[in-house]
Structure 1
Amino acid sequence: MDIDQKIKDMAEHLYPEMVKCRRDLHRHPEAGWTEFRTASMVIQELESLGYEVHFGREVIDGSQQMGLPAKDVMDACMERAVEEGANEKLVAAMAGGRTGVVGILRTGRPGKTVALRFDMDCNEVEEAKDEKHRPYREGFFSLHPGCMHACGHDGHTTAGLAVAKILAGLKDELTGTVKFIFQPAEEGVRGARAMAAKGVVDDADYLLGAHLMMPPVGFLGYDVRGFLATTKFDADFTGVPAHAGGMPECGKNALLAAANAAINIQGITRHSKGVTRINVGVLNAGTGRNVIPAHAHMEVETRGATTEVNDFVQKRAEEILKGAAMMYDVKVQFIQTGGAASGNNSPELSAHVRKTAERLCIFNRLEEVHDIGGSEDCSYFMERVQKHGGQAAYLIIGGSLAAVNHNNYFDFDERALVLEAQLLSTVACELVKG
Structure 2
Amino acid sequence: MNVTIQKLTPQLQKIFQHLHANPEISWQEFNTTDYIQSLLEKENCKITTFDDIPGLIVEIGSGKPVVALRADIDALWQEVDGEFQANHSCGHDAHMTIVIGTILNLLRSDVPLLGTFRFIFQPAEEKGTGALALVKKGIVDDVDYLYGMHVRPIQELPHGKFAPAIRHGAACFMKGEIIGEDAHGARPHLTANAIQVGSEFYQHLNQIQLNPMVPYSAKLTSFQSGGKSINIIPGSATFSIDIRAQTNEAMFELMNQIHKISEMLAEYHEVKIKLETVSNVAAAIINDDAVKKMKKAIIDSVGEDNLARIIETTGGDDFHFYTIKRPDLKATMLAIGCDLAPGLHHPDMTFNHESIPKSIEILSNVLINTAKAQS
Same fold (TM over 0.5): yes
Contact 1:217 1:416 in 2 (8 A): yes
Match of 1:136 in 2: none
1:283 aligned to which of 204, 213, 223: 223
1:265 aligned to which of 183, 205, 217: 205
Match of 2:297 in 1: 356
1:172-183 alignment runs, 5 A limit: 173-183=112-122
Contact 2:215 2:314 in 1 (8 A): no
Deviations 1:75-108 (CA, angstroms, capped at 9, x unpaired): xxxxxxxxxxxxxxxxxx45xxx32322233x33
Match of 1:378 in 2: 319
Contact 1:224 1:344 in 2 (8 A): no
1:149-298 alignment runs, 5 A limit: 149-169=88-108, 173-187=112-126, 189-213=128-152, 214=154, 215-225=157-167, 227-245=168-186, 248=188, 250-271=190-211, 274-287=214-227, 288-298=229-239
Q: Please report how far the alpha carbon of residue 274 of structure 1 lies from its aligned counterpart in structure 2 after TM superposition.
A: 3.4
TM-score (norm 1): 0.77
Return the letter of the residue paired with 1:51.
C
Q: Percent identity?
A: 25
Cα distance in 2 for residues equivalent to 1:201 and 1:307? 22
Match of 2:76 in 1: 123
Cα distance in 2 for residues equivalent to 1:216 and 1:52? 36
Deviations 1:107-157 (CA, angstroms, capped at 9, x unpaired): 334x3211211111223344469xxxxxxxxxxxxxx85332222211111
In structure 2, relative to structure 1, the CA distance for the partners of 1:51 and 1:236 (3 Å cut) is farther
Match of 1:413 in 2: 352
Cα distance in 2 for residues equivalent to 1:37 and 1:152? 18
Of the structure 1 ranges 11-20 and 215-224, higher mean CA displacement relative to structure 2 is found in: 215-224
Deviations 1:20-50 (CA, angstroms, capped at 9, x unpaired): 0101111112222222211221233343334
Return the letter of the residue paired with 2:215.
V
Cα distance in 1 for residues equivalent to 2:209 and 2:341? 40
Cα distance in 1 for residues equivalent to 2:248 and 2:370? 29
Q: Secondary structure of 2:237's partner?
A: strand
2:62 aligned to which of 85, 105, 108: 108
Q: Which runs of 5+ in 2 are unaligned?
A: none
Q: Secondary structure of 2:307's partner?
A: strand
Contact 1:223 1:367 in 2 (8 A): no
Q: Please report how far the alpha carbon of residue 397 of structure 1 lies from its aligned counterpart in structure 2 after TM superposition.
A: 1.2
1:301 aligned to which of 232, 235, 242: 242
Q: Secondary structure of 1:166's partner?
A: helix
In structure 2, relative to structure 1, the CA distance for the partners of 1:417 and 1:239 (3 Å cut) is same
Return the letter of the residue paired with 2:29.
E
In structure 2, relative to structure 1, the CA distance for the partners of 1:259 and 1:403 (3 Å cut) is closer
Q: Secondary structure of 2:291's partner?
A: helix
Of the structure 1 ranges 202-211 and 405-414, higher mean CA displacement relative to structure 2 is found in: 405-414
Contact 2:171 2:244 in 1 (8 A): yes
Cα distance in 2 for residues equivalent to 1:403 and 1:370? 18
Q: Please report how far the alpha carbon of residue 231 of structure 1 lies from its aligned counterpart in structure 2 after TM superposition.
A: 0.9
Contact 2:311 2:335 in 1 (8 A): no
Q: Which runs of 5+ in 1 are unaligned?
A: 57-92, 130-143
Match of 1:135 in 2: none
Q: Please report how far the alpha carbon of residue 399 of structure 1 lies from its aligned counterpart in structure 2 after TM superposition.
A: 1.6
Deviations 1:318-353 (CA, angstroms, capped at 9, x unpaired): 231133123222222223223211114322222222
Cα distance in 2 for residues equivalent to 1:424 and 1:399? 16
Cα distance in 2 for residues equivalent to 1:306 and 1:196? 22
Q: Please report how far the alpha carbon of residue 205 of structure 1 lies from its aligned counterpart in structure 2 after TM superposition.
A: 1.2
Q: Secondary structure of 1:268's partner?
A: coil
Contact 1:258 1:324 in 2 (8 A): no
Contact 1:100 1:195 in 2 (8 A): no
Q: Normalized per residue, which structure has more strand?
A: 2
Q: Secondary structure of 1:400's partner?
A: strand
Q: Please report how far the alpha carbon of residue 53 of structure 1 lies from its aligned counterpart in structure 2 after TM superposition.
A: 3.0
Of the structure 1 ranges 18-27 and 340-349, higher mean CA displacement relative to structure 2 is found in: 340-349
Q: How many residues align?
A: 369
1:387-402 alignment runs, 5 A limit: 387-388=327-328, 390-402=329-341
Matched, 1:430 2:369: yes
Deviations 1:358-406 (CA, angstroms, capped at 9, x unpaired): 2234675111134323222222224344x12x32111111223353222
| Pairwise CA RMSD | 2.7
Return the letter of the residue paired with 1:352.
K
Cα distance in 2 for residues equivalent to 1:347 and 1:403? 32
Matched, 1:367 2:321: no
Q: Secondary structure of 2:184's partner?
A: coil
TM-score (norm 2): 0.88
Matched, 1:338 2:332: no
Deviations 1:302-331 (CA, angstroms, capped at 9, x unpaired): 222221220121122123113312322222
Cα distance in 1 for residues equivalent to 2:225 and 2:84? 27
